[in-house]
Amino acid sequence: MNRWALGGDLGVARIGYGAMKLTGWPRGDRPSRETALAILRRAVELGVNHIDTSHYYARDGVAANELIREALSPYPADLVIVTKVGALVEGSDVALPAADMTGLTPDGLRRGVEANLRSLGVDRLDVVNLRMGDRSRSQTPLAPPLTTLLALREEGLIRHLGVSNVTADEFAQARAIAPIACVQNLYNLSKRDDDPLVDACADAGIAYVPYFPVGGFQPIKAGHLDAIAARHGVTVPQVALAWLLARSPNILAIPGTGSLAHLEENIAAGTLKLSEEDLAQLG
């Protein structure tokens, strides 16, 4: 697969895997434990070496980090696990009022980092994304929590820092505080508000990692998608992923799935080459 140097020194395939759907968090179905473990192992067999997760991806006793550890530890030398911390400390915190969310405090951030270290069974986290936004955006500016994470990085607990769910102004603020390896925001064929930020990251040599790359809880709708998929003999999500890879070389896709068949399709999208006509039709 095509690769990118995440943080300048971690070579990752441009199609990775997002682990959230393995738990059914925050809502929805999830695969059996046996299927979840098989998906993780098959992803690595197929060349995936970038897995996105978080300690708060957990519901009803099923936690993404623990599945990753059971399936893949001892970890392959080139495997990059990217996690995140933010307003949520536990998965159930998603139901709390914004005023009661404590994850962006110094104590909450340390607890989140330590929970990731413990549940993944590692001494240092490859990349930690500071996730802003959610319902606490108006209450917490970016600088204090990012400064806390920078201190944890200096302690040796984190290798690289990223930011998630940020505006262009917050991205600029973040870069003034710490080296930033990646930005993880909502972006796909149907949601392109971040076009300028994608380009700004590319210009700076920073990875842009779109979450919900094939629509998430909302299926992607874009003109000509069905026709292009039929012309190539592929699925609409495969076209959506191929479009992201064609959009900019710094984009790293992390589609999640609870299906082995869909996993194979997602990874195969890395070899799908859209024509200039296809790209023009997609706009």
Cis peptide before 144 (omega within 30 of 0): no
The neighbour count for residue 203, using CB atoms within 10 Å, is: 9
Nearest to 194 by CA among 185, 202, 181: 185
Helix or strand run (H / E) with residue 35: helix 33-45
The residue behind tokens 């992201």 is: 244
> What is the DSSP code (8-state) at residue 24?
T
Between CA 44 and CA 40 the distance in angstroms is 7
The residue behind tokens 């098959």 is: 42
58: CB partners within 8 A, 6+ apart: 23, 25, 64, 65, 90, 91
What is the set of active-site residues? 57
